[in-house]
Amino acid sequence: MTSLQPHPTDQDLIALLRARGQRVTSQRLVILRELRRRRRHATAEEILEAVRPDLPGTSLPTVYATLDLLGELGLVRKLDVGVGVSLYDGRTEPHQHMVCRACGRVEDLDAELRARPLLRAATDAGFVPERAELVVHGLCAECAGTAPGPRAA
């Protein structure tokens, strides 16, 4: 079972790349830093915009390739929740997601997922599980008009 490093450092990335005989490039370092800096998942396009100042001339294909590589290294989680874009999540603590069917917003859901029985069932079927992801579909507070806080009354 691949586990994500908590808050991976540049050195972590460098070590992982060296171990695979791959090169340490500024694109890889800067994109990892950007993921670390963010508290939220982001699209490849958003990552590109964010790193543009540090990496002028960087292209979307490179961002995709890099995110894909970081995914293999366990430094980022790719999310496909049915909103038409892939999201890349640098938050490494275990957490799940909620997707609003009205506005497409994707929010973090911090609650313990008891996946043990599911993983067990997968294993029994010959499947080798690496990670379990749960998505709650529904309406976000805003779209449902149940926004908590100020206007909760």
Partner DNA sequence: ATTGGTGCAAATCCTTTGCAATAGC
Partner DNA sequence: GCTATTGCAAAGGATTTGCACCAAT
Q: Is 53 in the site for DNA (CB under 7 A)?
A: no
Only one of the segments 10-18, 38-46, 51-59, 96-104 lies at the binding site for a second copy (rule: CB under 8 A); that segment is: 96-104
CB-based contact 31:75 (threshold 8 Å): no
Q: Is 17 in the site for DNA (CB under 7 A)?
A: yes
By beta-carbon proximity to a second copy, the closer residue of 65 and 119 is 119
Considering only residues 72-91, where is the footprint of DNA by CB under 7 A? Answer: 84-86
Only one of the segments 16-24, 33-41, 46-54, 141-149 lies at the binding site for a second copy (rule: CB under 8 A); that segment is: 141-149
Report how far residue 138's alpha carbon sits from residue 129's, in angstroms, rounded to the nearest whole number: 27
Q: Is 26 in the site for DNA (CB under 7 A)?
A: yes
In terms of Cβ atoms closer than 10 Å to its own Cβ (0-12, 13-18, 19+), residue 128 is exposed
Q: Is 60 in the site for a second copy (CB under 8 A)?
A: no
Nearest to 107 by CA among 93, 89, 92: 89
CB-based contact 140:107 (threshold 8 Å): yes
Identity at 150, one-letter amino acid code: P
What ranges in 26-111 are assigned the alpha helix state H? 26-37, 44-51, 60-72
DSSP 42: B
Q: Is 57 in the site for DNA (CB under 7 A)?
A: yes
What are the residues binding DNA (CB under 7 A)? 17-18, 22-28, 43-45, 55, 57-62, 64-66, 68, 84-86
What are the residues binding a second copy (CB under 8 A)? 78-82, 86, 96, 98, 100-101, 107, 109-115, 117-122, 125-141, 144, 146-148
